[in-house]
A and B are shown apart, each in its own frame.
Chain A
Amino acid sequence: MLQIDGLTKKFGSLTAVDDLSFTVAAGKVTGFLGPNGAGKTTTLRMALGLTRPTCGTATFDGRTYRELPEPMRHVGAALEASSFHPGRTAANHVAMLAAGAGIDQGRGTAVLELVGLGSVADRRVGGFSMGMRARLGLAVALLGDPKVLLLDEPTNGLDPEGIVWMRDLLRHQATQGKAVLVSSHLLSEVRQSVDDVVIIAHGRLVHCSSLAELEASADENRTTVVAADPDALAGLAAQHTWKVTTTASGTVVVGPTAAEIGRAAFTAGVELHQLATEGGGLEAAFLALTEGQGDIR
């Protein structure tokens, strides 16, 4: 299990990750979602001890990555920028890391077969496609048969067939009792493979629940409302206990129908300039959660 607790990273005046807390449970695939630049990679790098947090901790069963006696047997990671020496073969890359982690060399051959690189194991990585590099990164993550898998955009560069294969593999890992965290900027990409979702925007946690709960909330009505006096609208929402999120295009009200909002505003004498029903569904819910705060920086 991975526990992120109050994790914060500041780069000068920019706060890339802001007091982030969540857990990744064993036996489940957790989707770690957010727009580009939301702080997903920085969070993973802090969890792995590659980047030093400004404050907060990331622990695996109570220990930081650096404190783990055999880190690669406990945690397997494939990071987006996880790079390879172009002149080194896939087999040598894996063998070198197996040696460093005290893992049997036979396991290296096995994981290369597992990710479908068995036939190109003796080719230099410089000639590998993005998809092959993604598979090699995954092979390294699986090398120690770890309890926790942290994968940053693992489907990047994979063809549709590869994406399905990856999905099945992650599912299989979770059913074996492993904690799997998969980051993505697209909810649709991981929707079919995750149990839980952690959504961040601008380094902050904006949503954390099971996928089923997120889907249930996505079925609720969503209406974008623009009022002449936003404070009056906020007061109205508070009075009716509506769930609201503020986005660049206005206030999104979750729950009541457009008609109910219009009637309540009319009764209360709040001047509305726009009342637009949003398309329903999960993608819209995701966008509503991250919109306005999640623009690319």
Chain B
Amino acid sequence: MTTYAMVIDTRTCIGCGDCVVACKTENKVPDGLNRDWVVEATSGTYPNLKTEFRSERCNHCSNATCVTLCPTGASHHWNDTNIVLVDAEKCTGCKACIAACPYDARLVMHPDGYIDKCTFCHHRVDKGLDPACVSSCPTRCMHFGSLDDPHSKVNHLLKTREHKVLVPETGNDPNVYYLI
């Protein structure tokens, strides 16, 4: 299995939301829905406050509960990678995958009735390109690549920088990393 990871530097992210716009444009996401979003996490007591910006999306978990609980096999790992896709032709719209995601990086419901979600822009990855959100980031805080390639940028960043994933205790083995 090839494991693709996204590494996002919360120290350079300014929360502009360009990643969200890039995704909507690239993937023609239906009106009123978004496959990614930006969170502003503030902690501390005034005046000693600390703010972290996080661009969030599906974590493309290696152990994805949305895949194991899908009754029809519509929710699946693409081409032996960790990229989680939904096959609209197999999806009954039962919504089990939405309930199954512990990240509330929950999948969006396409107006036609099937489940629609972040694809890590697999159509671009297939051509060796970065996902649209990564390519469009004006502060270059987002990085994408294979964890199996020891020389990849994402591996280098994870080896040299302090990082975290969201709620690792879910056991889902998420693959979107945040540099802190």
| Pairing of A with B | no
User: Which residues of B are at the interface with A, using a C-beta cutoff of 8 A?
Assistant: none
Residue ranges of A at the interface with B (Cβ–Cβ < 8 Å): none
